[in-house]
Structure 1
Amino acid sequence: MLVIGVAGTELNAVERQWLQHDAVAGVILFARNFASRQQVAELTAAIRAASPRPVLVAVDQEGGRVQRFRDGYSTLPPLQELADNFAADPGGSLARVREHAWLMASEIRASGLDLSFAPVADVGHGNLAIGNRAFHADPAVVAQCLAAYVAGMHEAGMPATLKHFPGHGTVREDTHVAIARDDRSLEQLRAHDLVPFAAGIAAGADAVMMAHVVYPQVDPAPAGCSARWINQVLREELGFRGVVVSDDIGMAASFQAGGVAARVHAHLDAGCDLVLVCHPELVEPALDAVQGRALNTAAVAALLGRGALGWAGLLADSRYPGAQSLLFETPGRTV
């Protein structure tokens, strides 16, 4: 039920012990874990070898400023650039969105990882954390782009994760460093920020990542700690049947729930299937917190399942005759 962070480019002895723990569902990698394509493939293999069961290996490879792996990988523009010309050329914009998704997912899968937590489903209204990570300011445009992005990821055999539910793009504050409150009503959110999520779910998104934002007119708890948001709105109203993932519990806005143990339990009790513990110094107290909790192996199996059929099928797919040369002979291609 925990997706943990590790410190460097190789596993240390303590981290190998963590991977033996039944509650560790996977590892999320960052720029601190990357030196080269070969190294990250070796690190991914070491993570899998250290665990007695299948584990997820994930990254945030959105493009733009949130691209953890760079040297030897394609230079991916931020999502906003893909939709800049949407009004004049919607078809061309959506084709570029789909290619971006396929290329990103293909390169990450080729390195042995299961998924990148993408795409961003937030509406672009100048949030300090989101910025040009969002496709557009018009939720209808974001909705169309999301459907194309999910399709591109699926073509490459990668699960798609919509983030950050129910919408982080309209508030100003960055939840990495501050508490964020959105005082709009549920009706206002349904008409705006929830529109892209509904489209992404209809397109077959496999996972949804929650925001640490508080929407006090809906629930006094941050969305990721809110059973109302997860069970009533996301699952019952929008019909989402996939995996619900928390945002990183090391972010400042998550501190509202209390200490590490309280944060972990608040997310799991609200309905999150997986909890991100990205900071290595928080892993030990998080593992202590979940002793005795029932495991949710179905969540991991659901995300591993799509990836398992994806990469081999991609190389054999006649629609992508250049896949091998694209990914192995010409790294650094720019969309």
Structure 2
Amino acid sequence: MGLGPVMLDIDGPTLTAEARRSLTHPRTGGVILFTRNFENVAQLSELTAEIHALRDPHLLIAVDHEGGRVQRFRDGFTRLPPAAALGRVYDRDRDQGLQLAERAGWLMAAELRAVGVDFSFAPVLDLAHGLSGVIGDRAFHRQPAAVIALAQAYVRGMRGAGMQAVGKHFPGHGGVREDSHLTLPVDAREFEEIEAHDLRPFAQLMDGTLAGIMPAHVQYSQVDPLPAGFSRFWLQTVLRERLSFSGAIFSDDLSMAGAEHVGGYAARAEAALSAGCDMLLVCNHPEGAAEMLEALETREPDPVAQVRLARMHGQGSAMGLSRLRSRPEWSAAVAVLSPLLTSSSAELNV
């Protein structure tokens, strides 16, 4: 059985009978974990091992674990700085900023891989325009060249730890004030302006650096009436054809308000897949997930999408955090990144 096109969440720290049924559905391909799924390191390791044992090839296990205010697992994991802290160092000392970005990417990925998580939805490639509160200090920098350099270093670190990278939120979420969790943001800029600024980090990392892309639930009104994640122009014409991206495309959460105008969950699934998404995320809405799985039962699997998704499996075994902490690379990464956590959150947040 190949990987299906739906990534679901689960209710708590263990697998219920209902969760097992959903995860063994042929159209399921992955699980996204949240803080509610984490009690401690040992429990999380058991949970990921149990999820992986359900299927062959095993389901993808993902999480949003960027650092700063977006870090799902805390106790027992190293507290990670927000991306903006790395950008601040980069402004003072470019080489040091890049070294720290690589260490941060490695540390984030190494700790997650140690407990069996395949990948984090990272890095954020949005520009820090100073508009978006939901992006804020999750962005590396305002300048595209700085974001490109820092993201390349960060991804080198991730890949060194056996994890593939997913750049988000294509083609850029930083130019709008609204939060797509709550409404559909509208970016009224012309394509040429977006291409000259926000699109540049994505375009520069199309050399195999990124294995995945997550489009934004943002409507770029001067370009296409549909949000990027439902737009063939953005996903096919721009991403696949002009930028020659050959990796996996993950929808942003289809239960967010930014996706509601497309219709019900079955309609959202059809629209996102038709536009070019390979995997659909549906979170915090079990009824919507069930509707989506049922609607996709008769849809033939896409073998090309399955190959793209299979590349997202983590590399190397889950060694456990205790063994990881005994390695000098771990101690060195923690030592150099810890000072960044003393930065004022008021200074870092936009």
Q: Give the structure-2-normalised TM-score.
A: 0.88
Once the two structures are TM-superposed, the CA of residue 20 in structure 1 deviates from its matched residue by: 1.5
Which of the numbers 246, 249, 256 marks the counterpart of 1:244?
A: 249
What's the offset of the Cα at 1:176?
Answer: 0.4
Report if aligned partners of 2:119, 2:314 keep a CA contact under 8 Å in 1: no
Structure 2: 5+ residue stretches without partners: 338-350
Aligned amino acid, residue 29 of structure 1: L
Structure 1 residue 297 displacement after superposition: 5.0
Equivalent residue, structure 2, for 1:80: 84
Alignment deviations for residues 185-240 of structure 1 (CA, whole Å, 9 cap, x no partner): 11111100001111222352100001000001111000000000000001111111
Q: Percent identity at matched positions?
A: 45
203-212 vs 217-226, which deviates more? 203-212
Task: Show the 5 A alignment for 1:214-233.
Answer: 214-233=219-238
Letter aligned with residue 45 of structure 2:
A
- More divergent stretch after superposition (14-23 vs 95-104): 14-23
Q: Is contact 1:157–1:307 with CA below 8 Å preserved after alignment?
A: no
What corresponds to 1:318 in structure 2?
none
Secondary structure of the 2:300 match is: coil
Match of 1:109 among 81, 106, 113: 113
Amino acid at match of 1:274: M
Q: 2 CA distance for matches of 1:251 and 1:22?
A: 24
- How many residues align? The count is 327
Superposed displacement of residue 140, structure 1: 1.2
- The match for 2:170 among 137, 159, 165 is 165
Which of the numbers 213, 218, 231 marks the counterpart of 2:218?
A: 213
Q: CA offset at residue 149 of structure 1?
A: 1.2
Q: CA RMSD in A?
A: 2.2
Task: Return the alpha-carbon distance in structure 2 between the equivalents of residues 232 and 95 of structure 1.
Answer: 35
* SS of equivalent to 2:29: strand
Answer yes or no: is the 8 Å Cα contact 1:146–1:199 preserved in 2. Answer: no
Q: Aligned pair in 2 of structure 1 residues 306, 8: CA closer, same or farther (>3 Å)? A: closer
TM-aligned CA distance change 1:274 to 1:68, over 3 Å: same
Counterpart Cα distance in 2 of 1:200 and 1:279:
31
**Does the CA contact (< 8 Å) of 1:31 and 1:68 recur in 2?**
yes
Query: 1:289 is matched with which residue?
Result: 295
Partner of 1:132: 137
Question: How far has the Cα of 1:147 moved from its partner?
Answer: 0.9
Q: Which residue of 1 aligns with 2:344?
A: none
Amino acid at match of 1:295: P
1:276-322 CA-partner distances (Å, limit 9, x unpaired): 0112422111111212112135445445446453458x99xxxxxx9
Runs of 4+ in 1 over 6 A off after TM superposition: 327-330
Distance of aligned partners of 1:8 and 1:327 in 2 relative to their CA distance in 1, 3 Å threshold = farther
Q: Is contact 2:129-2:142 (8 Å) kept?
A: yes
Letter in 2 for 1:236: E
| Structure-2 change in CA distance of 1:52 and 1:158 (3 Å) | closer
- Aligned partner of 2:275 in structure 1 is 270
8 Å Cα contact 2:107-2:330 kept in structure 1: no
Matches within 5 A, 1:119-198: 119-126=123-130, 127-198=132-203
Q: Deviations over 1:2-31 (max 9, x none)?
A: 011111111111110111211100100001
2:58 equivalent to 1:57? no
2:343 paired residue number: none
1:153 Cα deviation after fit: 0.8
Q: 1:20–1:52: 8 Å Cα contact kept in structure 2?
A: no
| Partner SS, residue 221 of structure 1 | coil
Partner of 1:319: none
Q: Is the 1:122–1:167 contact (alpha carbons within 8 Å) kept by the matching residues of 2? A: yes
- 2:144, 2:256 → 1: CA distance? 26
Give the C-alpha shift of residue 152 in structure 1: 1.0
- Cα distance in 2 for partners of 1:193, 1:302 equals 25
Does the C-alpha gap of structure 1 residues 297 and 113 become closer, same or farther in structure 2, counting only changes over 3 Å?
A: farther
**C-alpha deviation, 1:45, in angstroms:** 1.3
**Structure 1 Cα separation of the partners of residues 103 and 310 of structure 2:** 23
196-205 or 221-230, which deviates more: 196-205
Q: 1:297 to 1:157 in 2, by over 3 A?
A: farther
SS in 2 for 1:202: coil
- Partner AA of 1:234 in structure 2: L
TM-superposed CA distance for 1:88, in Å, is 2.3
The structure-2 alpha-carbon separation of the partners of 1:95 and 1:186, relative to structure 1 and needing over 3 Å to count, comes to same
Assess if the C-alpha contact under 8 Å between 2:218 and 2:227 holds in 1. Answer: yes
Q: Which residue of 2 is the match for residue 204 of structure 1?
A: 209
Whole-Å separation in 1 of the counterparts to 2:100 and 2:205:
17
**8 Å CA contact 2:116, 2:317 repeated in 1:** no
Q: 1:65 to 1:136 in 2, by over 3 A?
A: same
2:60·2:313 contact (CA, 8 Å) conserved in 1?
Answer: no
Deviation at 1:47, TM superposition (A): 1.2
Distance of aligned partners of 1:309 and 1:298 in 2 relative to their CA distance in 1, 3 Å threshold: farther
More deviation, 214-223/83-92:
83-92
